[in-house]
Chain A
Amino acid sequence: MIKAVAATGQLGTGFKAETLAHAAEGADFIGCDAGSSDPGPYYLGSGQTQSSDAAVRRDLELMIAAGLRHDIPVLIGSAGTAGAGPHLARTVRIVRELAAKHGWHFPLATVDSEVSAERVVRAYREGRLSPLAGAPDIDEESIRAAGHIVAMQGPECFADALGRGAQVVVAGRTSDTAIFAALPMLRDIPPGVAFHAAKILECGAAAVVERKYPDSMVAFLDPDGFTVEPPNPDMVCTPQSVASHTFYETADPFRLVEPGGTLVTTDAAYAPVSDRAVRVTGSTFEPAGDYTVKLEAASLLGYRTVVFAGVRDPLVVRQIDRFVATTNAVITGKVADSLGIAADDYRIRWNVYGRNGTLGPLEPATEVSGHEVALLIDIVAADQQAAQAIGSIAWHTALHQPIPEYSGLVSHLAFPVSPPAISAGPVYGFSLNHVLHLDDPAETYTLTVENV
């Protein structure tokens, strides 16, 4: 039997120290997912991380200490949110700093899964890229425009690192399940069991009935199935909580595609084994005809400035769509006159909170029903200076934009912050959602093992 521990759902979001300490007793490994494409393209494109170094350091310190105490591996996947080179380097630096601080010595493996644009261009020419649902159109130019391209690895990279004696593995972009499926499969747990348990573990305590705060999760795996039990006595799993977590964030609840095949949960059975633990059996794994890795990339689209303002005057609120359209036209003219920037060279988006700010063009409600609305004026231009200059014109124009009911100089907007135009930095867009067909799972990662 294998005891697998997930420290938390995302490295840097925390867990109770006593929960992990308890979970690590008798465990075979501790894993933690550190990233996702869920927070959008910014982190991949910019090389920035979602969690601060301080928060990541706190979680890693407890995890590595527990791993060394029990002499079990600690596995990190999708380091630094997006798993590209800068994210990996930042996480590895934190591990080295912790080792130096505590005088720890262990074999540290790093798995670099960033791929070069030229490599992807070559694959594109050879017809080895296939689009996934919603994939953007690509050409050689758009591939080369990407800031970073990462190849989402399966469990092979972790198995490789463990085979070379690693105690701590920090990997770039990997599938969430790869982190938790690798070691069980090395110890002859069938892939259907290993991947399904991994899917439950990768979000930490998310598969409990009520997750009051981020925390650890445990699964016990054997060749016939696995039992999932939250190590925190305040949390419980039920068959429904585990079954419903199986399909969290996946389009198809019964078929979860991995680099080497598909986890099939159609016949999975979920049975209570106590008032807190659930036994899962019946999942299978269909190996794929060929091995593929998903490529993710993000390209720079421009620089953003945002203005956030409240509108409370009922005469303005009731004509907010017309107000926005009129104001936008005036802004476009002023930007051309004052800055010499043509309308095609930047974009202004108006999100009217209270009207369509959340659902945008999908909003089915046609009338404003509240007493106030918020305006988010979102400007993206070629550089930050231009975006700021347009932002200044935008808020000043909107502030004093006349409406037919009043004569004289009006002030329609309430700004909660000064300055009203906030420089929001570079804007990225996802530019790849394709799989790359490989001859060998090891083709798109580089494993390095060193003694720290």
Chain B
Amino acid sequence: MTELHQLARLIRSKNAGPFELTIDVMFADEASYRRVVDAGVLGAERIAALYRVDPADVRLFRADVALAIKVSLPRPTPSGSPTDTDIFGGQFHSPIVCLEVP
């Protein structure tokens, strides 16, 4: 069984402004990048289910030049609001770290 972190060089999340989150998954080599892309591991439906958002709100990007996959989604609550748990959005990538990659 291979998990996403075993193929990625870096998995990180961060605010993209106070109302959106963005998750970057970057790979050290083309083969790992292609494997994850081709397996469709980070599909919109799957991300939407994991983060409990509408699939229509999930934006997926592939940046071939950086061997990176990017997922952007609305924040569950605005940064720093009284119900926010992660002001910089730096830990929101955690649920995908151990996703299984076929």
Same complex origin of A and B: yes
Residues of A near any B CB (own CB < 8 A): 37-42, 132-136, 239-240, 243-244, 246-254, 268-270, 301-302, 347, 349, 351, 357-362, 364, 378, 380, 427-430, 433
The answer to whether B95 touches A251 (Cβ under 8 A) is no
Residues of A within 8 A of B17 (CB): 37, 132-134, 251, 433
The answer on a CB contact under 8 Å between A347 and B85 is: no
| Chain A residues near B84 (CB-CB < 8 A) | 40, 360
Q: Mark B1-44, 1 if CB is under 8 A from A, else 0.
A: 00000000000001111111010101000000000000000000
CB <8 Å contact, A40 and B66:
no
Which A residues touch B70, using CB under 8 A? Answer: 247, 253
Q: What 1/0 mask marks residues of chain B from 59 to 90 whose CB sits below 8 Å from any chain A CB?
A: 10101011110101011101111111111100
Set of chain B residues within 8 Å of A136, measured between Cβ atoms: 78
Contact A430/B81 with A39-B87, A247-B24 known, Cβ cut-off 8 Å: yes
Q: Given A349-B83, A427-B82, A429-B78, answer yes or no on A269-B65 (Cβ-Cβ < 8 Å).
A: yes
In the complex, what distance in Å separates the CA atom of A79 from the CA atom of B99? 41
A42 close to B80 (CB less than 8 A): yes
Known: A134-B75, A362-B51, A429-B81. A249 touches B14 (CB 8 A): yes
Residue with the greatest number of chain A CB neighbours at <10 A, chosen from B59, B67, B82: B82
| Chain B residues at the A interface, C-beta cutoff of 8 Å | 14-20, 22, 24, 26, 50-52, 59, 61, 63, 65-68, 70, 72, 74-76, 78-88, 91-92, 94-95
Which residues of A are found within 8 Å of B82, using beta-carbon distances?
Answer: 301-302, 347, 349, 378, 380, 427, 429
Residue of B with least CB distance to A298: B80
- Given contacts A133-B74, A360-B85, A430-B81, whether A252 and B61 have CB atoms under 8 Å apart is yes
**Residue from B14, B18, B81 with most neighbouring chain A CB atoms (10 Å):** B18
Q: Which 8 A-B pairs have the closest CB atoms?
A: A40-B80, A134-B19, A243-B66, A251-B72, A360-B85, A251-B16, A244-B66, A243-B65
Contacts of B75 in A (CB 8 A): 134
Tell me the minimal C-beta distance from B12 to chain A in angstroms: 9
How near does chain A come to B13, taking the closest CB pair, in angstroms?
Answer: 10
| Cα distance A335–B52 in the bound complex, in angstroms | 34
User: Does B20 lie within 8 Å of A134, measured CB to CB?
Assistant: yes
B85→A41 contact, CB < 8 A: no
Cα–Cα, bound, A361→B83 (Å): 10
Contacts A349-B83, A359-B86 given; does A270 touch B92 at CB 8 Å: no
Decide: A37 and B79 in contact? CB cutoff 8 A.
Answer: yes
The CA-CA distance from A136 to B19 in the complex, in Å, is 9
Output the nearest chain B residue to A135 by Cβ-Cβ distance.
Answer: B19
**B68 — which chain A residues lie within 8 A by C-beta?**
243-244, 247, 253
A35 to chain B minimum Cβ distance, whole angstroms, is 13
Task: Determine if A360 and B76 form an interchain contact, defined as CB atoms under 8 angstroms apart.
Answer: yes
- B22 is contacted by which of A41, A251, A268 (Cβ under 8 Å)? A251
